[in-house]
Structure 1
Amino acid sequence: MEQLALIIGLLFATVLAVGLGERLRLPYPVLMLLLAAAVTFIPGFPALHIKPELILPLFLPPLLFATAQRSSWSVFRIRWRTILMFAVALVVVTVAFVASAAWLLIPGIGLAGAIALGAMVAPPDPVAVESVAGRVHMPRRLLTTLQSEGLFNDAAAIVIFQAAAGATVAGTEIGPDVLLRFLLGAAIAVVLGYAAGWLTKAVTRFIHSLVARSAVTLVVPFAVYILAEELHASGVIAVVVTALEIKRRARPQDAAERITRTAFWDVVEMLVTGLAFGLMGLEMHKVIEAEGTAIFGMIGTAVTVCVLVVAVRFGWMYLAMWFGRRREGSLPPTRWKDVLILSWCGMRGLATLALALSLPATLATGEEFRARHEIIVIACAVLLATLVLPGLTLPWLMKVLKAHTTGQEEREAALVLASRAQDAAVAALQDADVVQDLPEEKLDLVRVRMKRLRADLMGAIPVGVKRKQRDEDRELVIAVQTIALAAARQEVLEARNEPDTDPEVADRVLRQLDLRTMMMPD
């Protein structure tokens, strides 16, 4: 009962942290981490015991799924170079630099143990990045770059970590088969994700309850992740592909389901994120307390690794900018501001903590894992340095660099998409039997309804449209709205999968259409 009470307390604290974060303009995940770490100093405060091997399966699937739902396949087709450069190559380079430093600075750690440490601290966490960077009005082009990187880099880091930890335990060396394992695991995960996306949409078509349909999308990420791991594939990639495929298969007639599911996932994401960061605070304090005064002897190495992690990311972003300037239509970073922001947003989080806690305690021979305590302390130091400091100072950095977005670009994109939706609705009505041979006064009513559709898309009612017209010619109005809204939703869904469309802008326009559909009289 004590464990359950502590979890409920963390969930309630999440709600309070969200409110406090809004008032202080600070990211609530960082507040949760600091709060959880602080309360553990209270004498008699209960400890929460979760097996390390359960942390990633419990928290990564829903949070990855929630983040991936805001993207689309077209984004990844455009940004495949970004994914390779940041989610794979940067992880490998970071592992190499950190492992080299650890091998030189930590006596007896061994090469495989040093590589395991590098894999722990290499991947920026998608949950941390989305929760912190998404709340400071960051330009969409930068936030999308961070999201694309964060959704896949855990896969590369986890494969490297498992190979390094396994080699240390067995007393062997890491072989070149790591790359083959990663590629094979990624391929299996993609196939599994496609199949899961298709199966999910097939199942939901047989379920009439909107609540049950939303619940299916909560169960699926866990099932896909666990199945992928059992097949020795990447659970991370499998969950991301599943989410993207489910969004691709969205249908125009699923308006009520989209509204229900969006609200459902907003609540799930907030509570799971808060709980995850709260657990980080509890676990980090537990690790630090267990080490006692020995920690002071590890500070120098920990600071060195923290500086190295930030420096490697900055250097990589600078190289990406330098090479990008030589190509037309290059993606971020394209200027110094981009380099600074993307470097400062390399926030470590859930994956770093989970991998640190899952480090084996003993070797196959029964000996202790060499330098295990120091590895865990350094990983926690990197987590704190790259999450808390950037999380609290990112708003200041954005202000100094004058990099805040005004939202004008997104508003213009939404206007273009709304116009496309209206054009599609008009075209559908022109071909519809319901408006053929209508008298002029009835056609005027149809035109008024089309003006109102455009106004709903842009969030306003146009001047001159009287609300009393809502009850005139009820059957004609319902027929016109049904045809127009269906065509408009179909157009927005198709636009969402196009390379030039921002998925989040499309989702906002689609939400207006869905709400308008649900407001229609029966």
Structure 2
Amino acid sequence: MEILLLVVGLMLAAVLLVGLGDRLRLPWPALMLVLGVVVASIPGLPDGFELDPDLILPLFLPPLLYATAQRTSWAVFRARWRSILMLAVALVLVTITLVAGTVYVLVPGIAVTAAIALGAMVAPPDPVAVEAVAGSVSIPRRVLAVLQTEGLFNDATALVVFQAAVLATVAGGEISPALLAVRFVAGAVGAVLIGLGVAWVARTVLSRLTDSTGRAALTLVLPFATYLIADELGASGVIAVVVLALQLRARADADEAGERLTTASLWNVVEMLVTGIAFGLIGLDLRQVVEDAGDELPRMLWHAAIVCAVVVVVRALWMTGAWRTVRRRDDPSAAPRTGREATLMAWCGMRGLATLALALSLPVTTATGAPFPARSELTLIAVSVLVVTLVIPGFTLPWLVRLLGVDAEADAERHAEKQIVLRARRAAAATLEFEQKVQGLPDDVASGMKDKVAKLAAVLSGEPTSEEDRQRVAVLRDTRDRVSAAQAAALSAARAEVLAARREPGVDPHAADRVLHRLDLRTVLLD
């Protein structure tokens, strides 16, 4: 019962803090984490809400990764393959190496493999944290898209290194870089195949389901099933879920307007509640971490401060190098293109669920029965990095955006949305012209269909009483049917054009989704 009360309380707190965060212009997930810390510090609070490490990733990551991946597209990934390699792979490996070296020097007697495990815990910025915090601030979509791309794939790199380091620590062995590379490639390839396979099966099943509620419910189950299947087969569950979301969006039907609205509403609610519970539980679990540290807490916090500085400095230096590299390329979709963008992206390296889950999943003992080397300190350092990189940037990001002036560029990017609107309007106008010529749609009807439909609805509200009335109503009904068919065809063409634009390189999928959402609403209202 205590667990149920806790979950319900966190969901209620999330709903309230969303409104508070909007009023204060602060990211509400960071407020949830602070609330969790405050609640955990209340004396006499029961310890019955400890997290099961084996459930954190499967419960929280699949739905949140799926929701985040739905906002991007294959075209974006094809255009940003360099960012994936440089940020999701290279930067993660460099961070792991430098953090492991720092911890090996700071903590006496720690095994190299245990230090590498800590590096893997704190290396990957979390896509959920980045989306929840940076997504609510007016920053260029191009910058946010690169941050999301980084976050969607870096967990896979960190997980492979972490699992190998833990196994080597428990068994008392060493890590083979060649074996790590083979495991990463095999896990990534397997995950892609699993994601594509599940997406194909899902589309087949969805095509036979006529109930929109059932179709939306299936999309809610798919991320969990995909993650578990991939994990069971030794592949990357993170990559499998991302591929599933991308493939389902790529194969979306232009006329699935009602389903898109239903699914979008469902996932908005799910994402908000799951994010609130996750960040609230992170804060609540900090008390147990502090209690495990005991009298060694001051020394451990000093070590944690040094590691936090290493993590922040490494990212800042890497983004500076990325800026100097990107500005020499003629790629308008790349980031960072300016020093201000490099500063912003360095500040947005938020850690989140993956860091917490990996820290809590450290074994208690090795294969010989000895305690896992410096387990309490490694956990405290990992959680400290999570708090520092999430809370401080979360509360200061709106101020930093205004100081750097990048919000003005974000306003300028709305031109991309206007271009997609123009394409949709042209497609609808061309289809109406075709309907007018081929189907015999009257000119006055084609120029004012909205008013005509409203008048037809009023005229047809009563029953005809004479033969003349019946003939007039029959003509009006025929005109109404042609108007409806023409308008439906025009809107369908507009939606198809927006979806085609969304799949093209260089097109912001977020802008296309906003235009598509308005078209879907228009279609449903007319229906």
What TM bracket, shorter-length normalisation?
over 0.9
SS of equivalent residue, structure 1 residue 232: coil
Return the match for 1:336 from 322, 335, 339.
339
Structure number, greater radius of gyration = 2
Equivalent in the alignment of 2:417: 414
**Contiguous gaps of at least 5 residues in structure 1:** 453-464
Pairwise mapping of residues 368-379 of structure 1 onto structure 2 (< 5 A)?
Answer: 368-379=371-382
Q: How does 1:490-501 map to 2 (within 5 A)?
A: 490-501=496-507
Q: TM-score, normalised to structure 1's length?
A: 0.94
Amino acid at match of 1:236: V
Deviations 1:154-191 (A, max 9, x none): 00001100000010000000012001100110000011
Residues 79, 506 of structure 2: 8 Å contact kept: no
The sequence identity of aligned pairs, in percent, is 53
Secondary structure (helix, strand or coil) at the match of 1:119 reads: helix
1:445 paired residue number = 445
- What are the within-5 Å matches in structure 2 for residues 228-377 of structure 1? 228-329=230-331, 331-377=334-380
Aligned mates of 1:103, 1:411 — CA distance in 2: 48
CA contact (8 A) 2:40 2:286 kept: no
CA contact (8 A) 1:410 1:505 kept: no
Partner of 1:73: 74
For residues 71-126 of structure 1, give each alpha carbon's deviation from its aligned partner in whole angstroms, at most 9, with x where no partner exists.
00000000000010001100000000000111111111111000000000000011
CA distance in 2, matches of 1:186, 1:394: 33
Higher mean C-alpha displacement, 313-322 vs 468-477: 468-477
What's the CA shift for 1:325? 2.4
Aligned to 1:388: 391
Shift of 1:477: 1.8
RMSD over equivalenced CA pairs, Å:
1.6
Please state how far the C-alpha of 1:491 moved relative to its aligned partner: 1.1
Alignment correspondent of 1:456: none
Cross-structure match for 1:5: 5
**Retained in 2: the 8 A contact 1:435–1:443?**
no
Tell me, in whole angstroms, the C-alpha distance in 2 between the residues paired with 1:333 and 1:212.
42
CA distance in 2, matches of 1:17, 1:419: 37
Alpha-carbon separation, structure 2, partners of 1:90 and 1:22: 33
The Cα of 1:50 is off from its aligned counterpart by 2.8
1:123-144: CA deviation from partner (whole Å, max 9, x where unpaired)? 0011110000011111111101
Contact kept, 8 Å, 2:139 with 2:409, in 1: the verdict is: no
What is the rounded CA distance, in whole Å, between the counterparts of 1:389 and 1:364 in structure 2?
A: 39
- Give, in whole Å, the separation in 1 of the partners of 2:206 and 2:454: 38
What corresponds to 1:160 in structure 2?
Answer: 161
Aligned residue for 2:41, secondary structure, equals coil
Residue type matched to 1:244 in 2? L
Letter in 2 for 1:99: A
The residue aligned with 1:224 is 226
- Counterparts of 1:46-195 in structure 2, within 5 Å, are 46-47=46-47, 48-176=49-177, 177-195=179-197
Alignment partner, residue 461 of structure 1? none
Q: Using the alignment, how far apart are the partners of 2:410 and 2:172 within structure 1?
A: 55
**What letter is aligned with 2:250?**
R
TM-score of the superposed pair, with normalisation by structure 2 = 0.93
**TM-aligned CA distance change 1:407 to 1:227, over 3 Å:** same
Letter in 1 for 2:134: A
Deviations 1:178-213 (A, max 9, x none): 011001100000111111111111111111221111
Aligned length: 504
- Deviation by residue 1:305-363 (Cα, 9 ceiling, x = unmatched): 00000000011111111122222226111211011100000011111010000001100
- Partner-residue secondary structure (3-state), 2:298: helix
